[in-house]
C-alpha cells in the first residue's frame, strides 16, 4: 500500500500545482490552452492513482469522493493529500502491507 500512497501523493501535488496554474492562466488564453489540457490529462492519472489507493485501503464512497473533488478546487488537493496520508499512517495500514 505504501507504493500506492506514494503514487497518489505525487499525483496530488502535480494536479494541485497544475490547477493553480490553470487558474492563474485564465487571463492569458494561450497559456490556458497549453496548461488546461495537460492538467486534464494528469487529472485522469491522479484519479487512477486515487482509485488504486482506495481499492487497497478499502475506502468508503465518501472518502473516494473527497479525493475526486480535491482535484477541482485550488489548494484542496494539498490538504486532502496530507489528510489521507496522516490517516493511513495513524491507522497502521502502511505497516501491514508489503506494497
- Residue of higher predicted confidence among 93 and 80: 80
Joined together, the cell numbers standing for residue 34 give 497549453
> Which pLDDT band, with edges at 50, 70 and 90, does 96 fall under?
low
Residue percentage of the chain with pLDDT more than 90:
67
Burial of 2 (0-12, 13-18, 19+ CB in 10 A): middle
Instruction: Decide if 4 contacts 52 (C-beta within 8 A).
Output: yes
Number of C-beta neighbours around residue 76 at 10 A: 16
Q: State mean pLDDT over 32-44.
A: 92
Give yes or no for residue 41 having a pLDDT over 80.
Answer: yes
How far apart, in whole angstroms, are the C-alpha atoms of residue 41 and residue 43? 5
Amino acid at each position: 500500500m505504501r507504493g500506492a500512497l506514494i503514487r497518489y501523493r505525487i499525483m496530488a501535488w502535480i494536479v494541485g500545482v497544475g490547477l493553480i496554474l490553470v487558474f492563474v492562466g485564465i487571463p492569458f488564453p494561450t497559456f490556458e490552452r497549453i496548461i488546461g489540457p495537460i492538467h486534464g490529462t494528469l487529472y485522469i492519472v491522479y484519479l487512477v492513482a486515487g482509485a488504486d489507493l482506495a481499492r487497497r485501503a478499502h475506502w468508503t464512497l465518501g472518502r473516494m469522493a473527497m479525493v475526486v473533488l480535491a482535484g477541482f478546487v485550488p489548494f484542496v488537493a494539498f490538504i486532502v493529500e496530507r489528510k489521507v496520508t496522516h490517516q493511513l499512517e495513524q491507522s497502521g495500514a502502511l505497516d501491514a502491507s508489503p506494497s
